[in-house]
Structure 1
């Protein structure tokens, strides 16, 4: 299982200047390589190297850095081609697709630059790294990360790491190949997880993560951004830049806490986890104008991704189920009726008369569907009788 660890660099002033200049240089070179690739109709990596490697060396890039710039550019065009083929940039002739196809790819001055073990070495016991720059090799650049992250890096770091600059701070994005725990092939049951906005997550075991605090935080951040944007002064712009991504970081932290609680409960009880497959829900539902901001800032996909990777690390089975009718079906008698859902929080079955919290009812339905999906999957893996 691949995990991405973000390690903060704590460089001195001269080291920070060298790192910043390096990112500017390599990304400017990548834009030039991109122009060459575009003119030559995006040749293969080997052919592109023949046309650009000498010039990159003349610009002051080391051999490995030049190779990474060429590979980064070629990978960017591969990704663009895949997005066009998948229809992610619209149909042929659409404005967005024509714009993407009609000009070379550009790289931001602070875009990520890959580093392999020849350009970057880690001294984890000393808490430093040695990294190549256009000003020479920087040794003893301090790093900052949690003890758990340090242990993961020491035991499982593999392959390249990316250097990025974000809001004036430098980070190394390292890939760790962490072995998955043995999967529990015989779970005692499944914990159904109903995802929502009023309640971020409600499980069939009774756990409910209320969304009031996160909603208030988002509204407070949105109102503050609106006021600062309307003010438009230099100090307001500085504060806007300082507070950039604060809402996203807070939401990610909340999702981490919720995901850890769900997975820990499943691991302790020997159960599996059943999640709703909500892919494409924003395209399927129709919303009033005043609901759009709330729904489109809903991080259900991030929460599901956090639950998924934490479940893999813990060896907890996880399945995705069809969310259709989970909020309208009675978890006791299985009667389905739109009128069963009285309001956002109340479920009252028109058939058997049971009354319960709507999210609790949905979580029980998801748990039952999860057991069905798991049982069907196990049956399909049974080898045929000879």
Structure 2
């Protein structure tokens, strides 16, 4: 009890350090903010998870225990999406109410600028930007993986978490000229597998261009990476070699040891969805795609890496837009009106994000420009609204 009293006094003393104006505004902002988080999270979970889980309970026999676990594991990913939306709704509701009650006008009449009035909202936006980044990078990837594993376990589906189709890997290095032992740089191997499942590659084709003038093709029903020996073990296949003169030889094998690096295995183990990857995982994936020559996937990963930062930045952007827009208006906004306005602004923002992200992935824009353009455009709009609110 003594410790609790000391802790309360400590918090109270720190809270009083904050200027009175900011303490008042924060008290006004927090209730609608927590309401908005609850509202957006419930709506998004209902549409994105709950209905699907109910269908699986009815149609596939998923037990209620596993359904609740999946629901809880999915919660962080929807919370992350709710944070920016909640900031927008909270600032719209709070500052529009203060405007309609002439409290904003009263503050301006005693010399408090619009920038100072919305500073508390921006601080809340900065704080939520940090929390959103931590959630999105440290909590969401692991919780999404746990949700998928729990769902598969509940449905009695075999755990093929490493199941991937159409694995392609290009290896670059020295192409040797057998007649002179000279070498040139270029693609030495092209690896393709139809499936990757249970640590095995299925229906493998390997093209070998490492000897100038020679072309070799290995076809195997399956293959796996032998970590201790650092080689590939292929089973049940053929090797066709074409010489510079046009002659060819064909060899049938049951088992064949092939000296290729572990690149195909690493490519296959990269999650296709960035929501299953931390920032560190995404950076490793980008480097691996670049080394393998898969420039399209490397570009896509660069965009997803930048989006790890732009998603949290939406909290700052929305806090600026919401507070500036509401300070300009003198009509009180109800919760339903604030919710509707928030949906419209969020929809516009995410349409911009989708369009520019697609342009970044396709190569029409650089990944950096594609990912950050919606943030910069929206931030510029917020600055304009702030300027107009100060008139």
Q: Which TM-score band (shorter chain)?
A: under 0.3
Using the size of structure 2 for normalisation, the TM-score is 0.23
Using the size of structure 1 for normalisation, the TM-score is 0.23
* Structure with higher helix content: 2
Which gives a bigger RCO, structure 1 or 2 (Cα 8 Å, sep 6+)?
2
Q: Is the radius of gyration larger for structure 1 or structure 2?
A: 2
